[in-house]
Chains A and B, each alone.
Chain A
Amino acid sequence: MLEIRNLHARIEEDGREILKGIDLSVKAGEVHAIMGPNGSGKSTLASVLAGRPGYEITEGSVTYQDRDLLGLAADERAREGIFLAFQYPVEIPGVNNMYFLRAALNAVRKQRGDKDLDAGQFLKAVRAKLKLLDIGEDLLQRAVNVGFSGGEKKRNEIFQMAMLEPKLAILDETDSGLDIDALRVVSNGVNRLRSPERAIVMITHYQRLLDYIEPDHVHVLSGGKIVLSGDKNLATELEKHGYAMLGDAA
């Protein structure tokens, strides 16, 4: 589904190279976890995959469903089924959450060849997913993420994901800032999306999330490279020894 080869990326503004040759292969049906120290480039990788402006790809390639991903604009990628749950969801004053979600859903549906949902069908779909993620309906009447607590913002990301049903979901520290109950609810939401046709890449600092959403592969990203890969036991090792153990792995 996703093939990343020798990906190098730098920040356009100051020319600093952040990704220094990433190789990663994600197949349909798989769940990958990416861990690694602060500032190692995890969010940058997620941003580059989602098409955020401001980064320059200097080397390497990314193919998604046998197409060159890097040639697509951010919104095209989303309509092709890529979803990024933001580490820091953006507040957008004046844009109503429901209105925004409906525009997004209809854009994605159009690409899939599905008809627009009318107001009634949309509301029905929304209510079902809200319940699943234990989100109050009042949250949707507000402007996008404005006045949401940290946890509410994260829940809203997963709620959007549940509505849009992406093929490849990239979750950037969705577990950070969630209380214990919320973590369970959000993990349930993610697990429901798991299917043989879909893939999930989750960036996290904590082993705990992986107890709820069991990964097939765990990678460690450090200094802009993937320095270590393994199965879920790698996360347990890391939890025990910290990133100091990278010293001999890298």
Chain B
Amino acid sequence: MTVTKPETAPWLAAFKSRVPLAHEPAALTLRRETSLNRFAELGLPTRRDEDWRYTDLRPLDGKNLTAHLSKISEDIDINSYVLEDSAHRIVLFNGHWVESLSKLDKLPSGVWFGPSSNWLKDFPDLNMEILETSEFEGRQPFTSLNGAFFSDGFVLTLDPGVVLNRPIQILHVGQTGKSGAQHLRNLVRLGSGAQATLVESFSGEGDYWTNAATSIHLAESATLHHVRLQDEALEAIHFASVRATLGVRSKYDTFTLTLGARLSRHDIAASIEGEGAHCALGGAFLLRGQQDATTVTLVDHAAPGCETRELYKGVVDERSHGAFLGKIAVRPDAQKTDAHQLSRNLLLSPRASVDTKPELEIYADDVKCSHGATVGDLDEAALFYLRARGIPEDEARRMLIYAFTAEAIETVGNMALRAYLHGHLERWLAKSGK
């Protein structure tokens, strides 16, 4: 008999009255129950949990998180988030697939891309791979909750050797008058030598809750570029976890630009299982008002000769708070690991704050590992120099913030994606004009 945490009771009740997916395989229903039980055991995290120390969960209070959002209409404006250069796209509105706005024609052979509800329908006998890695090591109650409740999401699978040159886009849009949740479940599986570029955007209106979980599997020599734009509504809550496993000589690089949500958290766990793999994690968060954003990364080097690069930049203004918790673990067998991690932060207001905690856990002796963290103010000398040339103060400040953030965006290899991120960064900066 496991102990059920009392605060999970509303979800246990909600699960009973849940409407299953059309064509939901019986095996999935069983899996959902397992996830729910796991969640009931874990309960909601508190600040006593090491991983959640810097995250103030009070914005969750009083919200109706057990309610499920439904697809209100298909008439939504996605123009500011569409990446022109994308070859295929899926739009998910309140966690439900919007076929009319999606672009799934002319998929090359060897590619399966579509909403996860369709994938489950097409492959009911598959071993529920979509839920397989749902339970991260450590405490991830929201991912378990996601397993119990997810309504849809996306799946991308590439057969060995399939190379997609143009990016694939997934737009997540949330909208609600009352609070409610959208649980998204995603799966990416690339066969050996396959290559893809994925861009996800999150946006919306109202105080909805996004809870996304993504599993990524990269076979030998596969490459995945994964860009995320988190520009949720300012009252919204955003939790996202990404679990990636990297095979021999595979490459995973991911970048997240965090601009939105009242409270957000992004967990990435990468398991490096194959020799010679390369992992690059990056991101920038720009926060103001009372926004709170946490990024948690864990890279687990279990194979020798692999490389990890991490660069995270934080900009906090007004009363916002940002946190970066980065851990790189190197197991005894992972000799010749080369791992660098850097967290740099800019405080724009005396009431804003940042917590940064880089961590190395090394059990191999022949490795090259380093980490660093900085927290500083805007460079006053640079600001004066710009102003001494006639540039108004607020514009000069924007130029310096832009420059600080752009350094991280430059790590994104794809030019169209860089431009996409720069565009959204500029939009954010324009909103700060007095």
Instruction: Report A's interface with B, CB cutoff 8 A.
Output: 50-53, 73-75, 78-79, 83-84, 86, 89-95, 100-101, 103-104, 107-108, 111, 143-144, 160, 164
The answer to whether B392 touches A75, judged by C-beta atoms less than 8 angstroms apart, is yes
9 A-B pairs besides A75-B391, A95-B402, A143-B403 with CB distance below 8 A are A53-B384, A74-B388, A83-B388, A90-B379, A90-B385, A92-B385, A100-B391, A108-B390, A144-B385
Chain B residues positioned under 8 Å from A111 (CB to CB): 390
Residue in B closest to A74 when the chains form the complex, CB atoms:
B387
The answer to whether B389 touches A164, judged by C-beta atoms less than 8 angstroms apart, is yes
B381 at the interface (CB under 8 A from A): yes
A92 to B378, CA, bound (A): 11
Q: Which of B392-408 contact A (CB under 8 A)?
A: 392-393, 395-396, 399-400, 402-404, 406-407
Looking at A74, A78, A86, A143, which has the most chain B CB atoms within 10 Å of its CB? A74
The answer to whether B384 touches A52, judged by C-beta atoms less than 8 angstroms apart, is yes
A164 to B392, CA, bound (A): 15
Chain A residues positioned under 8 Å from B406 (CB to CB): 94
A89 to B389, CA, bound (A): 12
The 7 tightest CB contacts between A and B, nearest first, are A94-B403, A78-B390, A104-B389, A75-B387, A90-B385, A107-B390, A74-B387
Chain B 392-432 interface mask (CB, 8 Å, partner A; 1/0) = 11011001101110110000000000000000000000000
**Cross-interface CB contact of A103 among B395, B400, B407, cutoff 8 Å:** B395
A83 to B390, CA, bound (A): 9
A91 to B400, CA, bound (A): 12
Question: Nearest Cβ distance between residue A26 and chain B, in whole angstroms?
Answer: 19
**Cross-interface CB contact of A75 among B396, B400, B402, cutoff 8 Å:** B396
**Cross-interface CB contact of B388 among A50, A93, A143, cutoff 8 Å:** A50
**Cross-interface CB contact of B385 among A86, A143, A164, cutoff 8 Å:** A86
Question: Nearest Cβ distance between residue B398 and chain A, in whole angstroms?
Answer: 10
Would A73 and B389 be within 8 Å (CB), given that A53-B380, A94-B404, A95-B399 are in contact?
no
Would A93 and B396 be within 8 Å (CB), given that A78-B390, A103-B391, A107-B390 are in contact?
no
B296 at the interface (CB under 8 A from A): no
**Cross-interface CB contact of B384 among A74, A144, A160, A164, cutoff 8 Å:** A74
B78 at the interface (CB under 8 A from A): no
Chain A residues positioned under 8 Å from B390 (CB to CB): 75, 78-79, 104, 107-108, 111, 164
The answer to whether A93 touches B403, judged by C-beta atoms less than 8 angstroms apart, is yes
A50 to B387, CA, bound (A): 10
Instruction: Report B's interface with A, CB cutoff 8 A.
Output: 379-382, 384-393, 395-396, 399-400, 402-404, 406-407
A79 to B391, CA, bound (A): 8
Would A107 and B391 be within 8 Å (CB), given that A92-B382, A92-B400, A95-B403 are in contact?
yes
Residue in A closest to B410 when the chains form the complex, CB atoms:
A94
A49 to B407, CA, bound (A): 34
A95 to B148, CA, bound (A): 48
A74 to B388, CA, bound (A): 6
Would A78 and B385 be within 8 Å (CB), given that A94-B406, A107-B392 are in contact?
no
Looking at B380, B388, B393, B395, which has the most chain A CB atoms within 10 Å of its CB? B388
Can you list 30 contacts pairing A with B, beta carbon distance less than 8 Å? A50-B388, A51-B388, A53-B384, A73-B387, A73-B393, A74-B388, A75-B387, A75-B393, A75-B396, A78-B387, A78-B391, A79-B390, A89-B385, A90-B381, A90-B382, A92-B386, A92-B403, A93-B403, A94-B402, A94-B404, A94-B406, A95-B382, A101-B389, A104-B389, A104-B390, A104-B391, A107-B391, A107-B395, A143-B403, A160-B389
A108 to B391, CA, bound (A): 8
The answer to whether B388 touches A103, judged by C-beta atoms less than 8 angstroms apart, is no
Residue in B closest to A161 when the chains form the complex, CB atoms:
B389
Chain B residues positioned under 8 Å from A52 (CB to CB): 384, 388
Question: Nearest Cβ distance between residue B404 and chain A, in whole angstroms?
Answer: 6
Chain B residues positioned under 8 Å from A104 (CB to CB): 386, 389-391
Question: Nearest Cβ distance between residue B253 and chain A, in whole angstroms?
Answer: 21
A53 to B383, CA, bound (A): 10
Chain A residues positioned under 8 Å from B391 (CB to CB): 75, 78, 100, 103-104, 107
Chain B residues positioned under 8 Å from A73 (CB to CB): 387, 393
Chain B residues positioned under 8 Å from A84 (CB to CB): 388
Chain A residues positioned under 8 Å from B402 (CB to CB): 94-95
Question: Nearest Cβ distance between residue B405 and chain A, in whole angstroms?
Answer: 9
Looking at A53, A94, A160, which has the most chain B CB atoms within 10 Å of its CB? A94
Looking at A53, A91, A103, A111, which has the most chain B CB atoms within 10 Å of its CB? A103
Chain A residues positioned under 8 Å from B404 (CB to CB): 94
The answer to whether A78 touches B388, judged by C-beta atoms less than 8 angstroms apart, is yes
A73 to B393, CA, bound (A): 9
Question: Nearest Cβ distance between residue B167 and chain A, in whole angstroms?
Answer: 25
Chain A residues positioned under 8 Å from B387 (CB to CB): 51, 73-75, 78
Chain A residues positioned under 8 Å from B386 (CB to CB): 92, 95, 100, 104
Would A103 and B381 be within 8 Å (CB), given that A92-B386, A94-B407 are in contact?
no
Question: Nearest Cβ distance between residue B55 and chain A, in whole angstroms?
Answer: 30
A144 to B399, CA, bound (A): 12
Chain B residues positioned under 8 Å from A101 (CB to CB): 389
Looking at A51, A75, A92, A103, which has the most chain B CB atoms within 10 Å of its CB? A75
A73 to B407, CA, bound (A): 30
Residue in B closest to A47 when the chains form the complex, CB atoms:
B384
A92 to B404, CA, bound (A): 10
A144 to B382, CA, bound (A): 10
Chain B residues positioned under 8 Å from A107 (CB to CB): 389-392, 395
**Cross-interface CB contact of B389 among A51, A53, A78, cutoff 8 Å:** A78
Question: Nearest Cβ distance between residue A142 and chain B, in whole angstroms?
Answer: 13
A40 to B396, CA, bound (A): 31
Chain B residues positioned under 8 Å from A93 (CB to CB): 403, 407
Looking at B391, B392, B399, which has the most chain A CB atoms within 10 Å of its CB? B391
A107 to B48, CA, bound (A): 52
The answer to whether A100 touches B389, judged by C-beta atoms less than 8 angstroms apart, is yes
A20 to B351, CA, bound (A): 38
Question: Nearest Cβ distance between residue A117 and chain B, in whole angstroms?
Answer: 14
